[in-house]
Amino acid sequence: MTDRLYPGGTQGKPEKSPKEERPVKHGLAFLSLLFAAAFLLIHAPWAAADTITGYTPIFRAGHDTSGTLQVAIRQFKQNGLPRFLIVNPATFATATVKESELDFSRQVASATLQATPYLRTLDRHTAPPYLLQNHGARHADQPVNGVFLTIDMCPSSRPFEREFFATVARLPQGERGPVPVAVAMTGRWLQQHPKELAWIKELTVTGRLAITWVNHSLTHPFDPKAPLEHNFLLKPGTDSERELLATEVLLLENDLLPGPYFRFPGLVADGRLIRRVRELGLIPIGADAWLAKGETPGKGSFILVHGNGNEPPGIKKALTLFTSGQLHLLPLDRAFTAPASP
């Protein structure tokens, strides 16, 4: 009986066998491995949790290592190393590069820069008269054979539209390449949904979705009782500079690349905000087919739905439209730029 309960015997102090010491040694080895892994995660250059510091807006044209004209719009340090966020003014593609990889020594004439699709689009969509709601690009600037899907991720505690993302990723056009969508992300949603974000990111890593990340502010202020003039980013006490820039930092820290676009929360802004967004090199993205509001998309439409679970009727409508196979989705850049040459 005693032997069964206390193997090895309890009469007096049992002798330690080599077998019994093993777990202790294993424990120590495991601990040192854990410390080593933690050290690597913090210090390795490929670590997922990159630290961005000194995030500063700039606006400076230069040439990359292939001699292509680029516009640096942000300067920052990533894990202590100086870098730029750059926009290709012909294609609107963004990238981050080492500071040393951008050459400012060759003069870029102001007229040359102003004539690029990027600068022309920035100017066109930030010019007065300023609309309180839906200022900016609402439709393609040129004839296109398709539509643009923009999915807003405002802060929400509801389950996000996982099935919708999965359905879009499975659309028949996906057989010819990743399905293009624009996701308007708030910093708050991103911070509060790390697992969901990782799941969305996986759809891009596996080549099923090509996401253009649109900045949709950090906290997306909203007061259900306030008039539009004092609501969203116009809500008194809003730190607009933080709202405009902090989400880009969070995207970069999550290894996601912000596009040169901004979607105003509630699509609401005033002249001051619109001018500031212009200075920051961001094109305001409105919509002409907010599905939950009963608007119907046509060719070139910017479709707006909420992917955060806050507006199921819009998602339902979108699913009907997309699964009927009538709509071909295009990447947001194509609303403003010529198709990439084959």
Amino acid residing at 129: P
Beta carbon of residue 218, minimum distance to Zn ion (angstroms, whole number): 12
Which of 152/333 has CB closer to Zn ion? 152
Tell me which stretch binds Zn ion (CB under 5 A): 139-147, 151-159, 267-275, 329-337.
Answer: 151-159
Least distance in Å: CB of 213 to Zn ion? 14
Pairing of strands 81-87, 94-98: antiparallel
Least distance in angstroms from the C-beta of 208 to Zn ion: 25
Angstrom distance (rounded) from CA 181 to CA 174: 12
Query: What x-and-dash track marks residues 67-106 binding Zn ion by CB under 5 A?
Result: ----------------------------------------
Size of the site for Zn ion (CB under 5 A): 3
Using the minimum distance from each CB to Zn ion, give the nearer residue, 88 or 310: 310
Task: Report helix, strand or coil for 233.
Answer: helix
Q: How far apart are the first and last CA of the chain?
A: 82
Token reading at 38? 């933690």
- Cα separation of 189 and 89, whole Å? 30
Which of 154, 197, 304, 318 binds Zn ion (CB under 5 A)? It is 154
d(CA 137, CA 337): 13
By beta-carbon distance, which residue lies closest to Zn ion?
A: 154
What are the tokens at 84?
């730029």
Cα–Cα dist 262/131, whole Å: 15
- Which helix H or strand E contains 263, and what residues bound it? none
Q: In the bound complex, what is the minimum distance in angstroms from residue 298's beta carbon to Zn ion?
A: 23
Q: Kindly state the helix (H) or strand (E) to which residue 113 belongs, with its residue range.
A: helix 110-114
CB of 222 to Zn ion, least distance (A): 8
Is 214 a residue that touches Zn ion (CB under 5 A)?
no
Q: Which two tokens stand for residue 162?
A: 């996982």
By the rule CB under 5 A, 248 interacts with Zn ion: no
Cβ proximity to Zn ion, 102 vs 154, nearer residue: 154
- Is 152 near Zn ion (CB under 5 A)? yes
What's the closest the beta carbon of residue 231 comes to Zn ion, in angstroms?
Answer: 12
Residues 249-288 touching Zn ion, rule: CB under 5 A, are: 265
DSSP bridge partners of 72? 60, 86
Q: Do residues 185 and 204 lie in contact, with contact meaning Cβ atoms separated by under 8 Å? A: no
Stretch of 67-75, 81-89, 130-138, 152-160 lying at the interface with Zn ion (CB under 5 A): 152-160
Nearest-approach distance from CB 255 to Zn ion, in angstroms: 23
Contact 139, 252 (CB under 8 A): no
Give the residues lining the site for Zn ion (CB under 5 A).
152, 154, 265
